[in-house]
Amino acid sequence: EPEVTQTPSHQVTQMGQEVILRCVPISNHLYFYWYRQILGQKVEFLVSFYNNEISEKSEIFDDQFSVERPDGSNFTLKIRSTKLEDSAMYFCASSEGLAGIGTQYFGPGTRLLVL
């Protein structure tokens, strides 16, 4: 069964460093998403991406964050200068994008720890 994959599974970085989180969405899906979950808190939406541009973003997704689809299979989230409060589980998701059907399938996540 097709699934969303994410790498790395864990990332430890120093405050102020740049990190890139990578995702491979399900191959025929058209919408891509990033969410995060701080330990003990809700899953929160960060950004959605469709047709090579951001379609929606939350107020969390400030200038420190960027997304890119560098090729036909990968979808990346870059955090330019990490802060302690960026420590969280980051989930990538994708959906087919068919009208009226919006089931989002999630990857296993990348656990980011900023020291």
Residues at the contact surface with another protein, assessed by CB under 8 A: 4, 31, 33, 35, 41-45, 48, 50, 55-56, 58, 89, 91, 95, 97-109, 111
Nearer to another protein, 12 or 15 (CB): 12
Which residue, 18 or 56, has its beta carbon nearer to another protein? 56
Q: Provide the minimum distance between the beta carbon of 19 and another protein in the complex, in angstroms, as a whole number.
A: 19
Please tell me the number of Cα atoms within 13 Å of 70 on its side-chain side.
10
**Residue 74 vs residues 14, 86, 96, 103: alpha-carbon distances, Å:** 25, 22, 16, 20
Using the minimum distance from each CB to another protein, give the nearer residue, 14 or 99. Answer: 99
H-only helix segments in 1-111: none
User: To which H or E segment does residue 79 belong?
Assistant: strand 75-79
Closest separation in Å from C-beta 60 to another protein? 11
